[in-house]
Amino acid sequence: MSDSKQYSTFYLNGLFFGVEVLKVQEVIRYQEMTRVPLAPRMIEGLINLRGQIVTAIDLRRRLELPPRAEGQLPMNVVVRTDDGAVSLLVDEIGDVLEIQEDTYERPPETLNGVARELIQGVYKLKERLLLILDTEKTVGLSTAATCAQEIAN
């Protein structure tokens, strides 16, 4: 069997995304958030995850996608980064998929703006494209992770 990787998948504005399973700490329902004054627009707030303060990033804002429909609550994909846990707010959770490495391709030339920097590649699946998100770059605004750390201290 050829090399394969496992991805935790989710949906955002009708697009299908994945992050490496090894980077995912947990997937949880919507959590109440504390707003952070003067935080970058992509930071939705802070959540308390069993005593751990975690910054929540709205992936729609981060990827410059249209806002979520009124009343639609996001789900949390909590990922581990070099700076600690960060929650990515997504529309809907998918499954864990095991995908053969030989179906991996570079991001399409048609990707523009921020998405071009944050999507490290794609897998062509039978029914759709799986966009692989670079979690370190996605949460990489040092302000995101340090925001939670400063408040926690």
Dihedral angle sign, alpha carbons of residues 82, 84, 89, 90: positive
Scan for tokens 């410059």, then name that residue: 64
Identity of the amino acid at 24: V
Architecture of domain 4-152: Beta Barrel (2.40)
Domain boundaries, the chain: 4-152
Distance CA 134, CA 82 (A): 13
> What integer pLDDT is reported at residue 16 of this predicted model?
96
Residue-level pLDDT, tens digit, the chain, 153 residues: 458 899 999 999 999 999 999 999 999 999 999 999 999 989 999 999 999 999 999 999 999 999 999 999 999 999 998 888 999 999 999 999 999 988 899 987 877 788 888 999 999 998 899 999 999 899 876 444 444 455 444
> What integer pLDDT is reported at residue 9 of this predicted model?
97
Q: How many CB atoms lie within 10 A of CB 64?
A: 11
Tell whether pTM > 0.95. no
